[in-house]
Structure 1
């Protein structure tokens, strides 16, 4: 048994805290800000045992140093390909590495997902996926460093995980992403229905996350690039051509 709690940070970030009711230890994912993490750990009487880092952007790494001061023995596990851009990493991992958190009896598989950044990784422990800024609900990350081909390949790899996979991304972008999804695929009723559900959650100040891969395959245009009707609508000649077109359109949306 474990619980995964969103710790709100900045304007729209979620730092995910993974805890167990019978264990005083906690894992956090992408701690961009130390203060809300420190407050959460104090409130719930938890000790930080590990930080999982998906990529080097400051809103995902900015709290590491302060948290290590408070918990000097906490493991800081992040992408080997970005070690020169992330200070304080204690463990470097790459694609298909297995991370074992013995004191919480958890294992994570590392998945390389370049696109948003070149060294971006995701952490998977069925049915949970911590995917950083690669896959968002109804969207995907901007291509700051990688190519459309790289990002499409990364999303295709994630899409091979089971439909019940819980998608824990790190930003509350769902409603704006759904607005674009409805523009990209106006006849998709699943997008309309899911937008209403998510709007209600946000009105109640509840997160729209986690989503599931099964839902994302229905409503996320970036996971639907093999759809022939969508390719035809966008006059795209291939999945990559469609991805390139809708990613460019989303950047201007």
Structure 2
């Protein structure tokens, strides 16, 4: 159920997903354009097309050739899976962080609110202060990044979990690569052992990089949503205190957050 909730949250808030997919596509496109087949085969032809005096149509033709080659390389070799999977998983973990920030912080405030209402119903003087608002002012990018990095340093377990998950993902990708050889079990096992052991150091580096990115995004999502929840509750709390100081009734319901 949590997976479905997270996916719904992702698609209701699609901007991070679009940004990540765009960045990864541009990175993959750059890799294709910088590769030898393009540099030695297609690029000289492109230079001939756009050689002066070139028209707008020539430039459009060159762009079309580049685009067609990028799409062909992505779809022909199955490379698109490697382009789509990392940003999707990273965005998924960011959405997990978003939901965690919303639910945890909202739960803290709602518990405080219920205690306040119970004390009011019993005509008791409620003196418990509101939950702290130390995470509220993280609107700037650098402030948010600083808060995220500090949180990651204080909670290194998340980074380790992400690294292990990405390492398992790399393991599965290597396993998938030997599926055509499953008819010959012995050869398949030999190929898997050889491929995985030879690539293990590089896969560990990839897993470390992706683990750092995904754990950062998840933590950033938590920090960002905690700040939003605190900001909303702080505004409501200020209104309540103003009404209390003026001696007027305050019947505004506490903030509600639509998660999915």
TM bin, normalised by shorter chain, reads under 0.3
Larger radius of gyration: 2
- Which structure has more RCO (C-alpha within 8 Å, separation ≥ 6)? 2
Task: Please report the TM-score for the alignment, with normalisation by the length of structure 1.
Answer: 0.25
Structure with a larger share of its residues in helix: 2
Task: Please report the TM-score for the alignment, with normalisation by the length of structure 2.
Answer: 0.24
Structure with a larger share of its residues in strand: 1
